[in-house]
Amino acid sequence: MADKNLEDMDELRKLSPETRIERLKVLEEKRKKELLETEKLIQQSVAEIKAEETLKEEIEEEEKTQRELLKLDQEEGASLEETVQNEKQLILDEELGNHKQYQMKLSMEPITDLYDKLRGVYQDVVSTGEMNEQQEKQLMDLNYAMQHKSEAIDHGEYKTAGDKIEDIMSASKSILNYIRHGV
């Protein structure tokens, strides 16, 4: 390129002064444009480098934030899971307590009422030919009440009205056994 500039200079010297001045002004304008374009390109390149660095920092910051959020979610998830488990256990304990209270209340009912309820379950089971979940639960509750009543009788805590009560107890046990084993 330096050789070409030297050749151009030799050619310029051969020209007339007016033509030489015109050519030199054209060359000078051309070089000014090239210099301006070079400066613009440098500024653009610097701006692109800054933009890339800013974007890289934003991405790193976003990734850091994502990691922190994930860590918090995992910690909260574990805490939330523990809370849900505790709540479930409380509800189960409360339901169990309520059910035990129901069974105790049921066992305090007169034996004739227990017999009537048991006979009702029996008739429902015989009419459908199968026992559903609700009937099974009723049967277990009535069985608990009957056992509690029987233990009370054995310990002398329950005063019977004679043989009628024993007959009802025997019939109730027979129905319980039939339902359990016959269906």
pLDDT in tens, 102-114: 888 888 888 888 8
Cα–Cα dist 87/78, whole Å: 14
Please report the pLDDT score of residue 34 as a whole number. Answer: 93
Amino acid at 112: T
Q: Is the confidence at residue 95, as pLDDT, over 90?
A: no
Across 93-182, the runs of DSSP E, i.e. the strands, are none
pLDDT tier at 38 (50, 70, 90 boundaries)?
A: very high
Q: What are phi and psi of 66, to 5 degrees?
A: -60, -45
Every domain of the chain and the residues it spans: 2-64, 108-182
Nearest to 170 by CA among 144, 140, 146, 142: 146
Q: Is the pLDDT of residue 72 over 60?
A: yes
Q: Is the pLDDT of residue 156 over 60?
A: yes
Q: Which two tokens stand for residue 121?
A: 């379950």
The pLDDT confidence band at residue 167, using thresholds 50, 70 and 90, is confident
Mean pLDDT, rounded, for 168-177: 85
Chain centroid, CA 62 distance in Å:
24
Q: What is the mean pLDDT of the chain?
A: 83
Cα separation, 161 vs 145, in Å, equals 18
Least confident range of 27-31, 103-107, 112-116, 122-126: 103-107
The pLDDT score that the predictor gives to residue 35 is: 92
Cα-Cα end-to-end distance for the chain? 109
pLDDT, one tens digit per residue, over 76-90 is 766 777 777 888 888
